[in-house]
Chain A
Amino acid sequence: MEAKMKGAEAIIKTLCKQGTNVTFGFPGGAVIPLFDKYLDYSDKINNILVRHEQCAAHAAEGYARASGKVGVCIATSGPGATNLVTGIMDAYMDSVPLIAFGGQVPTGLIGNDAFQETDMMGITLPITKHNFQIRDPNEIESIITKAYKLALEGRPGPIYIDLPKDIQVKEITKNKNEVKIRGFSPTVEPNTAQISRAADMMMKAEMPLILAGGGVIASNASKELKQLAEFTGIPVVTTMMGKSCFDENHPLSLGTVGMHGRKIANYATLQTDLMIAIGCRFSDRITGNLESYLEFAKLIHIDIDPAEIGKNVKADLPVVGDARRTLSSLVVALRNKKWKEKKEWKENMTVLGKKCDKCIELKAGKKIFPKEIVTEVNKLLKKGDIITTGVGQHQMFAMHYLRMGSPRTFISSGGAGTMGFGLPAAIGAKVAKPNNNVFCFDGDGSFQMTIQELETIRSHNLKIVPIIFNNSFLGMVRQWLELFHDKRYSQVHLGNEIDFVKIAKAYHLDGITVERQSELPDAVKQSINADKTMVVDVKIEEESNVLPMLPPGGHLKEAFGVCMKSPGKFV
């Protein structure tokens, strides 16, 4: 950075140097100098002006998850910055590389409770991988460079940077180039002895199963996972965060596990004698009751974050390392040891996997069942098409029934379960992949939490395909009340069938209402082929449930509901 340059310019220049050409943000007093510089650098960097700061963070997440690059969002001090918090927390839970900038009052006023001052360092402390407050303009380049490194390397995660206003207008006098971080050196290369032990355990196992989590996507290890699965013939199940990391049309794919996972995936988890888990953290939505989870199976747990190994489920063999490198070394080790396929197990699982698809029962009803929307979109998906979701029943239907073929195409709020995530995430994903179709599956409840982003979509001419599962209910909570609370429906009826087509039109976008199954395929196609975003408002059966469902904290074998009629000994 040259001397005489001001802080704001140094920030923009460093972002560009790190390869960022788009940010998601909303201005305010404390970041006026920063946004001013966008006018001078419009050929290098562009800001997507959102309509609420929370959506800046979610859009940056969508961008990061679709592209694999760092997503950057910006908000002003005080309420602007606190509005980012939900998105930062979401990124923290789902290990998304995100850099969030928040404006701050001038350094001289920090601690005085000045206008729009808030302790964002304190607020973001437990929800970031690390955070920085820039107190000296000479540190701008070094801190932002460190932030990129921290966000991306090892287990990815969000970084918050506090930007006092005076720092943005002060001149750089002596740029500091220090970018070394003493306390940060993730173990990327797995230990060879551990790899060899893992291979031995796999040789000895009779019914091995691969559980792939979000870490496989984060480390771009899909190719290596496919190699391992195909070489060994070991079936693959994924977590929701891992969805799309392994082609779900592949015969070895058994789909997603957990509370609303496919029965075959949970069944395989119950049957296996050796689970090879990669880049997942065994959340309660995956395991159900921890004591009975993998009760009779051994576990090889591969993760770049050693703290995840043994945190929830005890591992028989920990392997710390990057998923991509670990998987490729594992293939080599197994080849050297003359791997023999576990034929019977593989065949059993693949046959049951197919059966699981075929015996889905649908009750006859007047209205459309959510599953029908998902299977319809499944037919229309082209390679690389992306689906984002909100949070709730529609999300679980999407997770359960969608068959995603390539990584980074299923973008959903996992650990945080943030309603309203879908629309802004779709904006980010579309900005990252302008040539792919981006669908946003949303519920009527979830959609209304960030609905103002329709204007962001219009003003930036983004073309996405929002499909609303409209049942006038807060569907997932209603389902819980029906199943676990004697149908005492408290605060779940959203009432009055909102007309999302009219809302879309108010934002100068298009919309189409679907009330019959027969209208569905055409409506979705129409939205895909439209010039501008067309909201597909699908009126669905009000009280349909997401099944199967594992009751919270229950034993995996308790997963109830339709999907597969007693395959094998599984009841």
Chain B
Amino acid sequence: MSEKKHIISMLVEDEPGVMTRISGMFARRGFNIDTITVGKTNKPGISKIVVTLIGDDSTLEQVEKQINKLVDVTKVSEMGSGIIRELCLIKIKTPNKKVKDELFDYAKVYKAKFVDVDHRSMTLEIIGVPEKIESFIEMVKAHGIIDISRTGVTAMSRGIINN
């Protein structure tokens, strides 16, 4: 079976150790987490965790079933066609005006925002699907990237049908 990227979203009890339970289960059963994000939701005491992983369909099925067994997890869903976003902060060397101008151009195309500037560097914030972020990184790589911080993927279903 072919391997592909899957995004799994889960609602969990907001309790100490929940992330450990989930990441521990992945590690123990040999599933590879690509990214993992967590944050509070509109429901008190409930957080949302979004995990991306690479695997075939049977891996995905096992992952979903194993997550479902965790008592602190109240809901699991695969986000096949949902809204998928990631935020990336990227600090780039800017030795001269030519580079800066180029970055301004790229930023416009990618709708990236400048969040910090000093004499030798600029930091941009870019939001989008992981592929967009990767393509941006590819574009600016040649100028010398000083640092990158990526949040990992978060996701939500479209419309209200799946809620």
Residues on A facing B (Cβ under 8 Å): 121-122, 125-126, 129-130, 150, 181-184, 305-307, 310-311
B-chain residues with CB within 8 Å of residue A181 when the two chains form the complex: 71
A-chain residues with CB within 8 Å of residue B13 when the two chains form the complex: 182-183
Q: Nearest chain B CB to A143's CB is how many angstroms away? A: 12
Q: Give 10 pairs: A residue, B residue, CB < 8 Å, sorted on A.
A: A121-B17, A126-B24, A126-B25, A126-B28, A129-B71, A130-B72, A181-B71, A182-B74, A183-B13, A307-B62
By the criterion CB–CB under 8 Å, are A183 and B70 in contact? yes
> Does B69 have its Cβ within 8 Å of any Cβ on chain A?
yes
By the criterion CB–CB under 8 Å, are B73 and A183 in contact? yes
User: Whose C-beta in chain A lies nearest to the C-beta of B25?
Assistant: A126
CB contact under 8 A between A184 and B17, given known A307-B62, A310-B61, A311-B62: no
Size bin of chain B's contact surface = 20 to 34
A285 to B66, CA, bound (A): 22
B-chain residues with CB within 8 Å of residue A306 when the two chains form the complex: 65, 68
CB contact under 8 A between A305 and B61, given known A122-B20, A126-B24, A126-B28: no
By the criterion CB–CB under 8 Å, are B20 and A183 in contact? no
B-chain residues with CB within 8 Å of residue A125 when the two chains form the complex: 17, 20-21, 24
Q: Nearest chain A CB to B56's CB is how many angstroms away? A: 13
The proximity string for B residues 34-71 relative to A, scoring 1 for CB distances below 8 Å and 0 otherwise, is 00000000000000000000000010011001101111
Residues on B facing A (Cβ under 8 Å): 12-13, 17, 20-21, 24-25, 28, 58, 61-62, 65-66, 68-74
Q: Nearest chain A CB to B132's CB is how many angstroms away? A: 34
A183 to B74, CA, bound (A): 4
A-chain residues with CB within 8 Å of residue B25 when the two chains form the complex: 126
| Of A183, A306, A311, most B-chain CB atoms within 10 Å | A183
By the criterion CB–CB under 8 Å, are A310 and B58 in contact? yes
A184 to B74, CA, bound (A): 8
B-chain residues with CB within 8 Å of residue A311 when the two chains form the complex: 62
By the criterion CB–CB under 8 Å, are B65 and A150 in contact? no
By the criterion CB–CB under 8 Å, are A183 and B21 in contact? no
Task: Tell me whether chain B's interface is mostly helix, strand or loop, or mixed.
Answer: helix
Given A125-B20, A183-B13, A307-B69, 10 more A-B residue pairs with CB atoms under 8 Å apart are A125-B17, A125-B21, A150-B71, A182-B74, A183-B71, A183-B72, A183-B73, A183-B74, A305-B69, A310-B61
A442 to B85, CA, bound (A): 59
A440 to B73, CA, bound (A): 41
User: Whose C-beta in chain A lies nearest to the C-beta of B27?
Assistant: A126
A-chain residues with CB within 8 Å of residue B73 when the two chains form the complex: 183
Q: Which of A121, A130, A307 contacts B66 (CB 8 A)?
A: A307
B-chain residues with CB within 8 Å of residue A307 when the two chains form the complex: 62, 65-66, 68-69
B-chain residues with CB within 8 Å of residue A150 when the two chains form the complex: 71
Q: Nearest chain B CB to A261's CB is how many angstroms away? A: 27
Q: Nearest chain A CB to B74's CB is how many angstroms away? A: 4
User: Whose C-beta in chain B lies nearest to the C-beta of A126?
Assistant: B28
| Of B17, B28, B73, most A-chain CB atoms within 10 Å | B17
A130 to B71, CA, bound (A): 7
User: Whose C-beta in chain A lies nearest to the C-beta of B21?
Assistant: A125
Q: Which of B17, B24, B62 contacts A310 (CB 8 A)?
A: B62
Q: Nearest chain B CB to A2's CB is how many angstroms away? A: 28
Q: Nearest chain B CB to A98's CB is how many angstroms away? A: 16
A-chain residues with CB within 8 Å of residue B61 when the two chains form the complex: 310
A257 to B134, CA, bound (A): 53
A-chain residues with CB within 8 Å of residue B66 when the two chains form the complex: 307
User: Whose C-beta in chain A lies nearest to the C-beta of B72?
Assistant: A183
A181 to B17, CA, bound (A): 17
User: Whose C-beta in chain A lies nearest to the C-beta of B67?
Assistant: A307
Q: Nearest chain B CB to A188's CB is how many angstroms away? A: 15
User: Whose C-beta in chain A lies nearest to the C-beta of B10?
Assistant: A183
User: Whose C-beta in chain B lies nearest to the C-beta of A186?
Assistant: B69
Q: Nearest chain B CB to A123's CB is how many angstroms away? A: 11
Q: Lowest 5 CB-CB distances: which A-B pairs, in order?
A: A307-B65, A130-B71, A183-B74, A182-B74, A183-B71
A425 to B82, CA, bound (A): 52
Q: Nearest chain B CB to A440's CB is how many angstroms away? A: 33
A150 to B69, CA, bound (A): 11
A305 to B69, CA, bound (A): 8
A503 to B21, CA, bound (A): 45
A-chain residues with CB within 8 Å of residue B65 when the two chains form the complex: 306-307
B-chain residues with CB within 8 Å of residue A122 when the two chains form the complex: 20
A-chain residues with CB within 8 Å of residue B68 when the two chains form the complex: 306-307
A45 to B21, CA, bound (A): 34
User: Whose C-beta in chain B lies nearest to the C-beta of A183?
Assistant: B74
User: Whose C-beta in chain B lies nearest to the C-beta of A157?
Assistant: B69
Q: Nearest chain B CB to A258's CB is how many angstroms away? A: 23
User: Whose C-beta in chain B lies nearest to the C-beta of A122?
Assistant: B20
| Of B17, B69, B70, B73, most A-chain CB atoms within 10 Å | B69
A125 to B25, CA, bound (A): 9
A181 to B73, CA, bound (A): 10
B-chain residues with CB within 8 Å of residue A183 when the two chains form the complex: 12-13, 70-74
Q: Nearest chain A CB to B119's CB is how many angstroms away? A: 44
CB contact under 8 A between A184 and B71, given known A121-B17, A125-B20: yes
| Of A181, A182, A311, most B-chain CB atoms within 10 Å | A182
User: Whose C-beta in chain B lies nearest to the C-beta of A127?
Assistant: B28
A184 to B13, CA, bound (A): 12
A184 to B75, CA, bound (A): 10
A182 to B45, CA, bound (A): 11
| Of B61, B68, B71, B72, most A-chain CB atoms within 10 Å | B71
